[in-house]
Amino acid sequence: MRKLIYAFLLFAAVAQTAYGQTSDDDHSFRVAKNMEVFNAIYRDLDMMYVDTLNADEVVGVAIDAMLSSLDPYTEYYPSDKEEELKMMMTGKYAGIGSLIRYNQALKQVVIDEPYEKMPAAEAGLKKGDIILSIDDSVMTDKSVTYVSEHLRGEAGTTFVLKIKRPTTGKKMTFKITRRSIQMPSISYYGIKEDGIGYLNLTSFNEGCSKEVRRAFLEMKRQGMRAFVLDLRNNGGGAVQEAVSIVNMFVPKGQTIVRTQGKLARASSEYKTTVEPIDTLMPIVVLVNSSTASASEITCGSMQDLDRAVVMGTRTYGKGLVQLPNLPLPYNGNLKLTTGKYYIPSGRCIQAINYKKRREENGGKRGGSLYGDRVPDSLANVFYTANGREVRDGGGIKPDVEILPDSLPNIAYYLASSGLDSTEVMLNWELDYMKKHPSIAPASDFDITDAEYEDFKQCVLKSGFNYDRESGKYLEDLVKWAKFEGYYDGAKAEFDALEAKLTHNLAHELDYNKETIKQLLAADLVSVYYYNRGAVENALRHDKQWKEAVRLLNHSEEYEAILKGS
Quick: pLDDT tens for 425-448. 999 999 999 999 999 999 999 999
Output the pLDDT for position 230.
98
Angle, helices 555-563 vs 543-552, to 10°: value is 90
pLDDT of residue 8: 47
Which residues fall within 8 angstroms of residue 407, CB to CB, at 6 or more apart? Answer: 515
Q: Collapse the DSSP code of 83 into the 3-class scheme (helix H, G, I; strand E, B; otherwise coil) and give the result.
A: helix
Predicted local confidence at residue 6, as pLDDT: 43
Is residue 20 over pLDDT 50?
no
Q: Are 341 and 395 in contact (CB under 8 A)?
A: no
Using DSSP's 3-state secondary structure scheme, residue 137 falls into strand
Helix (H, G, I), strand (E, B) or coil at 229: strand
Count CB-CB contacts under 10 A for residue 25.
8
CB-based contact 111:125 (threshold 8 Å): yes
- SS3 of 322, please? strand
Alpha-helical segments (H) within 258-319: 294-304
Point out the least confidently predicted range of 1-5, 115-119, 199-203, 455-459: 1-5
pLDDT at 267: 87
Q: For 427, left (φ over 0), alpha (ψ -120 to 50), or beta?
A: alpha
Q: In this model, does residue 360 exceed pLDDT 70?
A: no
User: What single string gives the DSSP state of each residue in 366-427?
Assistant: ---TTTTSPPGGGSPEEE-TT--EEE-SSS---SEE-PPPPPPHHHHHHH-TTT-TT-HHHH
What are the Cα distances from residue 293, in Å, to 296, 343, 351, 439, 480? Answer: 5, 11, 11, 38, 43
How many other CB atoms are found less than 10 A from the CB of residue 230?
28
Cβ-count burial 526-543 (b if 16+ within 10 Å, e if not): bbbbbbbbbbbbbbebbe
| CA atoms in the 13 A half-sphere facing the CB of 4 | 17
Residues 6+ apart with CB under 8 A from 415: 425, 519, 523
pLDDT of residue 16: 46
- Please give the pLDDT value at position 394: 84
Task: Determine the Cα–Cα distance for residues 273 and 298; give it in Å rounded to an integer.
Answer: 16
In this structure, the number of other CB atoms found within 10 A of the CB of residue 104 comes to 16
Judged against a pLDDT cut of 60, whether residue 366 lies above it is answered with: no
Query: pLDDT tens-digit profile of 454-509?
Result: 999 999 999 898 877 777 778 888 888 888 888 888 888 888 887 777 778 999 99
Cα pseudo-dihedral 182, 186, 187, 189, rounded to 10 = -150
pLDDT in tens, 30-69: 999 999 999 999 999 999 999 999 998 999 899 989 998 8
pLDDT for the residue numbered 45: 92
In the prediction, which pLDDT does 257 show? 97
What pLDDT is recorded for position 5? Answer: 44
What pLDDT shows up at residue 24? 67
Q: Can you tell me the distance from the alpha carbon of 167 to that of 163, in angstroms, rounded to the nearest whole number?
A: 12
Mean pLDDT for 319-326 is 86
Residue-wise pLDDT tens digits, 88-111:
666 667 899 999 999 999 999 999
Q: Please tell me the predicted confidence (pLDDT) of residue 430.
A: 97
* Distance in angstroms (rounded) separating the CA atoms of residues 370 and 351: 8
Which pTM value belongs to this model?
0.86
Instruction: Examine the pLDDT at 411 and tell me if it is beyond 60.
Output: yes
C-alpha–C-alpha distance, residues 197 and 245, integer Å: 16
Give the mean model confidence (pLDDT) for residues 142-161: 95
Rounded distance between C-alpha atoms, residue 321 and residue 366, angstroms: 21
What tens digit of pLDDT does each residue of 162-185 get?
A: 999 999 999 999 999 999 888 889
Mark out the alpha helices in 116-207 (DSSP H runs). Answer: 119-123, 144-151
Distance, CA of 272 to CA of 255 (rounded, Å): 7
Mean pLDDT for the stretch of residues 513-517: 97
389: β partners: 383
pLDDT mean across residues, the chain: 89
